[in-house]
Structure 1
């Protein structure tokens, strides 16, 4: 990997770290944001739900732990991060509107495909909705655009970068697979019979799969591609002929029998210069940046004012 490729990789990693950090906070606030317009009646009912005597999370001997106590503790632990995240999301939104900055759905989709094929088994991706992750991707791309809005990169420099690093703008064909590993063909056929009868693949994996590494995850392997060396090539060969949301026949692999489940296939693609031109421009511009890459640098311009009781 060349020095320029390494720098490009670090920039992408930086973006993904921002996205993952925002996603986990977003999960804590999504329900609230979806219901911003509470009526007085709904607010009263919500308060009663939290404060109700019967709303007990757990009992330890003679001591009860209530939902109110839980929420108060969560606020102590994460209140600062959540409030700061909400402020920064709004700052990015207002700044993007002010400078008429947008990012395309195609750009968001490219990042989403890259992230999910590399980090499928991340707990944050497993517990977050696709919509929530894409929203954070969009916010992060808007932030990048804001940070480099006054930077000009010569066309020939961007074209040269693309030609030298074309492989970094390629997405390998990948298959999101789960598997159930058993000892005999008869056991594998019994698994298939249960699946046809309506049983859940993940539940069966937890119940009968002999692969201790994945059984507790419902047999989930994440996305596999031709570069994946951890699992047999027979998995990809079988997946090639499968449809999304379907399972395979019994496959003999290394003295065991396997049943595969294909969640999703992502087609391989090499993006054209035109498709990734804006990404390259941002990437090269960010490499020349000094200082923080945090939305807080725009707080004064937007006019952020914190309540004295709120931590900044």
Structure 2
């Protein structure tokens, strides 16, 4: 998503800020009323708007004009982006951020909304459809990228495990005995585990590689066989009982397995440069005026 990040990173933030302030101030302040005071001197809403327009107005208008050009060109070529395509990208972003909760936190921390993200993604996918036919990516380029980034395509050894975390060794030993006697691991995790993030899922941690967990936990997890349950393991968090659900052996990187990912990455990189040139050329075919640029 290199292209979309670069395309929107400044102006999108400005738009959110301007719109948010306009809405809030529009409801709470009357015309000419102060938004702040310094040594008794008022700073009015109108002065604030003027300052924001002076600093960010021209760039914001340029971005709006660019979006209109993209929409017009897409209409000429009968290019459309469906909701399913946008939602597929949203799901990919959620996965890349480690889940929906982290994704939502990222949106909130950047002062934007899911609706705005979807609009940006729809614009990005439209641009991609417009420009992709004129972008060429050769096998030689892909092979060069693969060799330069080979380590990132290899898959390290991974373990899928669940755990039950408790505060003291006695409780851990009691739970271990219950498991030995045939109790269900997931049920005991829900009942006893102090890890609020995993207990309701039966203690499931998913897959993790070496370096993802604290050393004491990791050393035991990677030493267990599938379906084997550990004795209590002490870490700074308390006492863990670990059950290994599955294992994935390390997998060497192969070019053929990575081609699709590499092509998408190189396409995003080329969109960065091609879009600027394409946009300037398309502007010549429209009557455009940005009066703020003249100010």
- Normalising by the residue count of structure 2, what TM-score does the alignment of the two structures yield? 0.48
Larger radius of gyration: 2
TM-score by length of 1: 0.46
